[in-house]
Structures are given as C-alpha cells and as structure tokens.
Amino acid sequence: MRGIERIGIILASLLLAASPLPVKAQENIRIGVLLPLTGPLAKNGLENWEAMQIARDMINERGGVQGRKIEYLQGDANTPNAAISETERLITKDGIKITTGSFASPIAIAVSQAAERHGVFHWETTGAAEVITRRGFKHTFQVGAPARKYGQAAVDFILNDLAKRLNKPVDALKIALLWENRAFGKSVGDGIRAYTQSKGVKLAYDEGYDQTATDMTPIVQKLKDVAPDIVIAISFPNDAILFQRKAKELDFNVAAFIGVSAGYSSPDLRDSIGDAVVGICVADFPPKVNAAVLTPETKKVAEEFYKRYEAKLKRPPAGHAAAGFSAVWALFTEVLPKAKTFEPDELREVALKLDLPEGSLVNGSGVKFTNFDWADDPKDAGQNLRASIGVWQWTKAGNEEVYPPELATQPPAMVPLPDWSKR
C-alpha cells in the first residue's frame, strides 16, 4: 500500500509539473491626465477628457499596447498652481512616468514644468503657447499647433477668402485685434501682429484686456468708435460670453468675427448666446476635416471616433476635443508600441524619430518634432511642425471646417455677418 501511495504521489507531482503555470497579467500602462475638470475651463477640459477616453477605449478594445491596457489617472488641473500640485501628486504618490493633457496654455506650462523637473515624459495635446517648447526641456512634446499658427490661420483666412467675399481690397479692410493678456492671448496676439506686418497689413485696433474683466462696455465702445470690418478676438470662455452679450446690447456689428480657439471654441458660448453664435468663425484645431486628406486607416479611425463622441455627448466635437483624441492616438499607436521599457528617455528618442505626413491623424495633422535643430528657432525642442490648424464656423447643427480649402467640409456662410437685429 505504501508503494502504491508513493507511486500516486510521484504521478501527482509529474502532472503538477506538466501543468502550465498561471500567466501573470501584464501590468497596465498608467498615464496621468491633467485637465481642468472643475472651474471656468471645465467644459472644455471635460470635452477633452471624453475624447481621450474614447481613444483609450478604442485602443484597449484592440488589445491594448503590446498586450497591456492603457489606464488613466486623473488630475484636476483647474489653475496653474493646481496643475503643479496635481502633477506632483501623480508622479510622487502614484509613480506616473507619462503625463498628458492639458487643454489651456497656462495649465500646459505648469504641468510640463512639474513633469520636466521629475524627468517625466509629457505629451501635450492642445496647449499652444510658444514658451512650452522653448525652455530647454527634453521630455515635453507639444503635439498640437503652437500659438503663432492660430493667428496665421486667422490672417490667411482674411487675406485669401474673406476679403473677396466682402468685395474689398485687403488694404481697405479695417481689422481689429483684441486679446486677453495672459500666456495664450499674448502669444497669439504677438504672432498676429508680426504676421500682419509681414503681409503689409495694418491693424486698425490692437489692444489687450484683463481676462478677469467683468464689464466689456469700454472695450466694445472703443471698437464701435473704430468701426472695423473684421474683429479677431482671443478670449477664454467667460470673457468671450461677456463680450458677445455686450456687443449685442450696444449693437456693435461687424462683417466678420474670428475668435481664436479657447473661449470661442467652447460649448459654453452656444449655451449662453444660443443661435447668435451661428456665423462666428474660429481659428482653431479642425473639429472635422475633409476625409480626402486622411490616410485610409485614419479615415476608419475618424469614423469610429466621431460616431462614439456624438453618441455620448449628443453633439460633434469642437476642434480641441478632436485634437485631444488625435494627440493621444498618436501616443498609443506611434510611440508606446515602439518602446521596450516605457522610460521617459526611451520615449523621448522614439518621439523624436516620428516622421508622419499630414493626414496621419484624425484632425489632419502629421507629426515631426523639433529637437534644437529648427532653423526658425534653434532653442525650440518638442514642437510638432506638422500640426493642422485652420478656421471653422459655428452652424445651427454644430460646426464646419471652412479654411483652408483642402481641409474644408463646406465653404464659409453668412459673410457678411448679419446685424444683431437680424440674427
């Protein structure tokens, strides 16, 4: 009996040895997402969050990256100070080595500063201030367009399209520039000023204002005195709403109005002034581009993204949301799959080798980063030279890209813009 028991034990041991050991599940790739989730920028931040979640879900449904799922850890970066503390928390307490976000330039500046201090890889989706990539940082990559491109798009739209529609020679147009005086507004304003000068265009009005202003009466009255044909305004949500309400109250009318991203791309604007928003143009990331410019694979990704976004939010995405999706999609499909260790230095090397043509991302962008080797500014590193920017227009149904022609989904409408009494 003992012999039989001994044989049974041996056989059981052999069977156990032959059985496959349980496979340890691959750890998730954990990414810190810093966005304004509360406060005055929350609607824009939450739109970005929804778009970035869709990208994560689509990748995870495909099996993740190298068999590993993407996991987001949130940080509520509703002010620059909060952005720094939330970034520090995710890095020091949660061990995050990759961060992304951040929607607004002041937030992006703060997040990238904190990330760089810890040697963490930061993949900036939509922050646009030029300074983001001009501080000598090695681990910050600005996937979206820099501030100067917003201004250039607005000016090019005027020169190449609006002037003809308004039946006026460019040198006869009166153009007013209004800008909020923080990082984004000042950066875009500086770019527009320099660009118009290079094109031989004089601004009839050029003035900054305090972004926390609660009364736009003096500004609107000054503009009424100037009587411009076109206003280019760089504002955040609250001041954009205040300006439009005061413009209506004081019956300030212009032939064309171009807001620059931020406040003029916010759903708050439509929620606050209703259909009066229709016809306002926005120099911004394209919300949706002509599918003909996209690669075949990107067309499929775009169809899925827009389908999911509109099903969830019951409206099409604004340009910054499409840009947020596009940026993290590039991270998930072009950077992380080529990494072995997922360490910041390795990710940096992978990112610097990217050479994607325009049309590779959903919003029409390509990817090619500077690395202290750009002729225009040798101090610049991590800026995407192939980020798409253009002009879209608010419509009753949502928004449509109207410029440049190759990206446009329809021509501009309501030019000249009807007076307030007819809107």
Q: Which of 247, 283, 265 is nearest to 419 (CA)?
A: 247
pLDDT the model gives residue 250: 96
CA pair distance 272, 269, nearest whole angstrom? 5
Tens of pLDDT along 370-406?
999 999 999 999 999 999 999 999 999 888 999 999 9
pLDDT the model gives residue 100: 98
User: 356 or 21: whose pLDDT is higher?
Assistant: 356
pLDDT of 64 strictly over 80 = yes
pLDDT the model gives residue 403: 96
Determine whether 357 is exposed, middle or buried from the number of CB atoms within 10 Å of its CB (0-12, 13-18, 19+): exposed
CA-based angle 178:126:304, to the nearest 5? 125
Confidence bin at 186 (pLDDT 50/70/90): confident
CB 401 within 8 A of CB 286: yes
pLDDT the model gives residue 25: 56
Mean pLDDT of 267-273: 87
E-assigned strand segments in 4-139: 29-35, 70-76, 98-101, 121-124
- Indicate the DSSP class of residue 359: T
CA pair distance 98, 117, nearest whole angstrom? 13
Q: Which of 328, 283, 409, 388 is nearest to 48 (CA)?
A: 328
pLDDT of 136 strictly over 50 = yes
Delineate the domains of the chain, giving CATH numbers in brackets. 29-145+294-388 (3.40.50.2300), 148-284+391-422 (3.40.50.2300)
Tokens found for residue 195: 């660009």
CA pair distance 412, 410, nearest whole angstrom? 7
Q: Residues near 182 by Cβ (< 8 Å), separated by ≥ 6?
A: 105, 106, 211
Report strand pairing: 390-394 vs 281-284. antiparallel
Mean pLDDT of 354-369: 97
Report strand pairing: 381-384 vs 369-371. antiparallel
Give counts: helices (H), strands (E), the chain.
13, 14
Alpha helices (H) along 331-397: 344-352
pLDDT of 9 strictly over 70 = no
Phi, psi of 217 (to 5 degrees): -55, -50
pLDDT the model gives residue 13: 47
pLDDT of 93 strictly over 90 = yes
pLDDT of 220 strictly over 80 = yes
Mean pLDDT of 129-133: 92
CB 72 within 8 A of CB 33: yes
pLDDT of 322 strictly over 80 = yes
Confidence bin at 421 (pLDDT 50/70/90): confident
pLDDT the model gives residue 160: 96
Confidence bin at 104 (pLDDT 50/70/90): confident
What rounded mean pLDDT belongs to the chain?
Answer: 91
Mean pLDDT of 183-206: 89
Tens of pLDDT along 18-41?
444 443 457 999 999 999 999 988
Tens of pLDDT along 39-60?
988 988 999 999 999 999 999 9
CA-based angle 362:367:370, to the nearest 5? 150
pLDDT of 180 strictly over 70 = yes
